[in-house]
Amino acid sequence: MSADPVAIARDLLRCPSVTPAESGALAFIEKTLKASGFTVHRMTFSEAGTDAVENLYARIGTAKPNLVFAGHTDVVPPGDEKAWKHPPFSGEVAGGELYGRGAVDMKGGIACAIAAVLDHLGQNGGKPKGSISFLITGDEEGIAVNGTPKLLKWAAEHGEKFDHCILGEPSNQQELGDTIKIGRRGSLNGHLIVTGRQGHVAYPQRADNPIRGLVALVSALQAEALDQGSAQFAPSHLEFTSVDVGNRTVNLIPGEARARFNIRFNDKHTLESLKTLIEQRAAKASGGKIKFAFQWEPSNAGVFVTKPGPLTDLVSKAVAEVTGRKPELSTTGGTSDARFITAYCPVVEFGLVGQTMHAVDERVPIADLRALTTIYRKIIDRYFA
């Protein structure tokens, strides 16, 4: 291949782009793509109470179809840098592996996509038969407000239309080629608040202990399944993650008790329908005798699914040819920026192996970088065939 994914990944890893800092990562991508004929746009988005975030959109070609490679250059903090075998922003190679924060999640994937695209262009007169775009954000590891959602809106307002998207998140579980993510569950956080009446423990008849009501509602909400799953998703589930009374006095019945919870849900629900369902179940369990309320945290983590079809078939065949493995089409795991992209075009996630992402000594085998680049190249060649 004419473009080296290892060199590209190394240069990206040397940019300490911890969310929301750009730290040269997008500047490097801009320079690399412009040199190959891409039109590149850099834009910063912000809103009150949030950090401003730099983003990048690049395109070569004007015709349809437009194949988009999406990803993020921001990374989580490295933690204790002394615990790393190699400095987290050095991009060092040792034992056949490239070390650095973001090696897997997901600067390595971006490097492979860039290398594959440049190689394709080099073998096809410098232009695709349609268009190839890059949609790169610096806000995926953060609150995802000033990144991909606003970048997609900006692109739409400027007449950009996408036909299909490959998101280079680390989709594989154990080895390259074992998993393609075709969907992600939604995520919703909430607080259940039960109000009672404060009083002395020696005179419980004068008080109303909210802990009794909280325990009853917690039990009721976890007793009944939210659903039985769907064609592409496992059953949704609600998990309580903390209970807080805020009472350090042993002889005082508190006036309020709270419990925090998270729901990971499938395509049988929307964020609003799920809130309604939980509130109705709590009301039924209370029997009108427990004074409760819910506080819902803002969420943009809805469900997305790309059903099996031509896009998944194309990616699966490329993966099988290079790795010899038939990838599983999975909807497991947390959320990703695919939840925003799906509103604009079909999207699948395929990247590196996620074993070391967010860990000390995050690293990727050099062989995997080269293999992923080859897979992406096959996808591009066949897409425009």
DSSP assignment string, 164-186: EEEE----BSSSTTSEEE-EE-E
CA dist 278 to 153, 192, 261, Å?
A: 32, 10, 11
Torsion of CA 368, 54, 157, 112, to 10 degrees: -10
Question: What is the residue-averaged pLDDT of the chain?
Answer: 96
Q: Is the pLDDT of residue 358 over 70?
A: yes
Q: Is the pLDDT of residue 139 over 90?
A: yes
| Separation between Cα atoms, residue 229 and residue 196, nearest integer Å | 36
pLDDT at 302: 87
* pLDDT digits 0-9 by tens, 318-350: 999 999 999 999 999 888 999 999 999 999 999
pTM: 0.89
Mean pLDDT of 32-41: 97
Q: Is the pLDDT of residue 180 over 70?
A: yes
pLDDT at 300: 87
Q: Which two tokens stand for residue 10?
A: 């190394």
| Separation between Cα atoms, residue 253 and residue 139, nearest integer Å | 44
Q: How would residue 15 be classed by pLDDT, with cut points 50, 70 and 90?
A: very high
Domains of the chain: 5-184+303-383 (3.40.630.10), 186-296 (3.30.70.360)
pLDDT at 97: 98
Q: Which residues are catalytic?
A: 74, 140
Q: Measuring CA to CA, which residue among 42, 41, 32 is closest to residue 12?
A: 32
pLDDT at 276: 98
Q: Is the pLDDT of residue 1 over 60?
A: no
Task: Name the percent of the chain lying above pLDDT 90.
Answer: 96
* Angle 46-165-274 from CA coordinates, rounded to 5°: 65
